[in-house]
Amino acid sequence: MASLLATFYCLFVSLLVCRAQTTAAGVYVFSDSLVDVGNNNHLPLSLVKANFPYNGIDFSGNKATGRFSNGKNAADFLAERLGVSTPPPYLSQPNGTFVKGVSFASGGAGIFNTTDQKSTISLPRQVGYFSTVSQRLAKEMGTKAAQEHLSKSLFPFVIGSNDIINYFQSNSDIGKKYTPQQYVTLIASNLKEMLKSRSTQVLVRGANPDRMCAQAKMLLELQSSELKDLNYSYFDTYNIFLDFIRNPSTYGFNETKSACCGLGKLRANLPCTPLAVFCSGRNGHVFWDVYHPTEAAVSIFIAKLFDASADYVSPITLQHLLSL
């Protein structure tokens, strides 16, 4: 299962941006399939979808909603902890105002604007959608009120794993074009755009301890020095999931090697489809398919996101961050 873990958590960056409060005025989500709640359902030419069985087998009504999961994903559990509704997919109502938030997350999305725009919503395009939403908010609420609203809102970012998978593929054009340092610099340009205007509190979720992740952590320190009002927490995702693998019984897991839904060896050669084989003891599995965790794993992860010790969070904890 080490290969699954390495593939799934190669590198992705996520941020929770908000003012000092335990609830949020709105939640605006930027992500890939890890947090997609159905945007790709509205992309007719996209093959990166999860709106079919056995996805959603444990979701309300046993319904496949477009979440790459047997049930809820991180967006749902995060919203529950904040006491708000899960943000709806932007493409389900693109003319909406979204005062309470919206999800731009899209399966297959990456930081680089190189993917087929008809198949997924890249991060630059998601940021463009957010710009449209913020303009609508200003028109409806007034500029000052909209800025105040957004300053009290939450902005989760979960992005980058698809770029890294592509980066390390043989004969990758991206791998040839960018060094790891250049890749992190590109991440910086996207994050800066979001951070420089309205946000001061940031929780960053890390991944495996390779050179790129070390550079990403250094990037946060640099951003903090450049953006004087920026406070952040770095959340060590990789080692928390590694603990799931090494100490499964502690968390109630009994299967850490095989995916729950898929085909081939360890159900990891082909993704979860109506033709796939799926497991019955899903709460005991860490992985739902070759790329995504089960609902059970995500629920524990989000709990740790809020309650993690200093071993997993630096330079300050999330609770400390929210109190600033």
Q: What type of residue sits at position 152?
A: K
Note whether residue 98 is domain-resident. yes
Note whether residue 294 is domain-resident. no
CATH value at residue 89: 3.40.50
Note whether residue 101 is domain-resident. yes
Q: Which two tokens stand for residue 270?
A: 């082909």
pLDDT single digits (tens) 272-323: 999 999 999 999 999 999 999 999 999 998 888 777 667 777 777 666 665 6
Q: Which two tokens stand for residue 236?
A: 């060590």
Note whether residue 73 is domain-resident. yes
Note whether residue 280 is domain-resident. no
As a whole number of angstroms, the distance between CA 262 and CA 275 comes to: 8
List the domain range (segments joined by +) for residue 25.
12-239+309-323
Q: Which of 4-13, 14-23, 54-63, 315-324 has the highest mean pLDDT?
A: 54-63
Note whether residue 3 is domain-resident. no
- Exposed, middle or buried by CB within 10 Å (0-12, 13-18, 19+), for 124? middle
- Mean pLDDT along residues 68-92: 94
Comparing 158 with 323, the larger pLDDT belongs to: 158
Note whether residue 102 is domain-resident. yes
Note whether residue 4 is domain-resident. no
- Report DSSP letters for 44-100, one per residue: TT------STTTTTTSGGG---S-SSSS--HHHHHHHHHTSPPPPBGGGSTT---TT
List the catalytic residues. 33, 289, 292
Contacts of 96 (CB under 8 A, 6+ apart): 88, 90, 102
Lowest mean pLDDT among 86-95, 115-124, 160-169, 271-280: 160-169
Task: Count structural domains, the chain.
Answer: 1
As a whole number of angstroms, the distance between CA 247 and CA 252 comes to: 9
